[in-house]
Amino acid sequence: MAESFALKTGARIPSIGLGTGLTEPNDVDNAIYAAVKAGYRHIDCAPAYHNEKEIGLALKKLFEEGVVKREDLFITSKLWCGDHAPEDVEEAIGATLKDLQLEFLDLFLIHGPIRIKKGTTMGPENFLPPDIPATWGAMEKLYDSGKARAIGVSNFSCKKLEDLLAIARVPPAVNQVECHLVWQQDKLRKLCQSRGVHLSAFSPLGSPGTSGVNGAGVLRNTIVISVAEKLQKTPAQIALRWGLQMGQSVLPKSSNEARIKENFDIFSWSIPEDLMPAFSDIKQVKLLRGELAVHPLSVYKTFEDLWDGEI
Ligand code: A2P
């Protein structure tokens, strides 16, 4: 069984989850099946990934075959940017639960501090100013109802997280953000640790499969490769194990069975403490900057606006 981290709700979040953001609907069945068989107990989903129905079918099959029980799994999903209006939030989780064929989520996150008109796609003509306190109020109701056993946010800067913490009745349990050896998020990690918010890392391998991203940044980094050679591990395993040792859960995506297994083999060994400082020398670059949200018609005119100067 994988290690896990405590959430402030009292629940535990498995320290590795399968990311599903790049997985084609046709591949998702195999990926979920391979992951659960390999020992993964956390699946990170979102309606924005257009594969929740297929994930639901895969989960149903796993439950029916008795491979795993619902209570053994930790399922995360997210509120899409078009569903921020408080009156749309319950319907949005309802659609996700229906697609996933579940009664509740273990964690439901606001996908980002970005709002668009309901039913539209991300584009200049569709931007609306977010009202996070109003959306959060509706998220708190989902927590009260038990449909979401924990609630949190994603893609929140330190400033946005602090603003939310200042007004929340139910504080966010998690901030899921881009976090890897090339974007280590030291400031956000410290804030999260001091405020009891669990940091969950998406793109922990630097997202080599995302178009426009130079994934070579993490897996081909010379420092990562030299530590991997010393410990006889792969660069991906070093990248993931570093995340665990920093106290964050990691959400690597893969639809390849061998790599799904490789990425899970990070519990029986550790990076010795004396090798950890070497990672501080890695040049820091945010690889996923949120291009689609930045526009003269958006509330975020620049990347500095979106990330509050924290890039
Ligand atoms: P694949 O699905 O072919 O395995 P991230 O989680 O940082 O966004 O990275 C996901 C990308 O990394 C996917 O393109 C995935 O491709 C690839 N990937 C996943 N695991 C590994 C691994 N162990 N080694 C190399 N590439 C990997």
> Is 250 in a helix, a strand, or coil?
strand
Ligand 1 and 262: CB distance under 6 A? yes
Give the three-class secondary structure for 18. strand
Strands (DSSP E) contained in 82-210 are 107-110, 115-116, 127-128, 151-154, 174-178, 198-202
What pLDDT, on a 0 to 100 scale, did the predictor assign at position 210? 75
- Ligand 1 centroid – CA 253 distance (Å): 6
Choose the residue to mutate in 24, 205, 218 for probing ligand 1, maximizing ligand atoms within 8 Å of C-beta. 205
Contact 237 CB / ligand 1 (< 6 Å): no
Residue 1 pLDDT exceeds 50: no
Read off the pLDDT band of 309 (50, 70, 90).
Answer: very high
Question: Ligand 1 pocket, 206 CB below 6 A?
Answer: yes
Q: Is 180 annotated as a binding residue?
A: no
Distance of alpha carbon 92 from alpha carbon 88, whole angstroms: 6
Quick one: which of 36, 99, 101, 34 has its CA closest to 68? 36
Give pLDDT, residue 216. 58
Q: Can you give the pTM of this predicted structure?
A: 0.97
Stretch among 144-153, 155-164, 203-212 having the lowest mean pLDDT: 203-212
Number of the ligand 1 atom closest to the C-alpha atom of 256: 4
Instruction: Report the interhelical angle of 52-64 vs 25-38 (nearest 10°).
Output: 40
Q: pLDDT at position 261, please? A: 98
What span, in angstroms and rounded, lies between the C-alpha atoms of 148 and 96? 11
Report the pLDDT value the prediction gives residue 214, as an integer from 0 to 100: 58
Note the pLDDT tens digit of each residue in 19-38.
Answer: 999 888 889 999 999 999 99
- pLDDT tens per residue across span 40-84: 999 999 999 999 999 999 999 999 999 999 999 999 999 999 999
- 87-118 in b/e form (b: 16+ CB < 10 A) is ebbeebbeebbebbbbeebbbbbbbbbbbbeb
pLDDT (tens digit, 9 = 90+) per residue, 226-246? 999 999 999 999 999 999 999
pLDDT level of residue 249 (50, 70, 90 thresholds): very high
Q: Is the CB of 263 under 6 A from ligand 1?
A: yes
Q: What is the structure's pLDDT at 211?
A: 67
Q: Is the pLDDT of residue 144 over 60?
A: yes
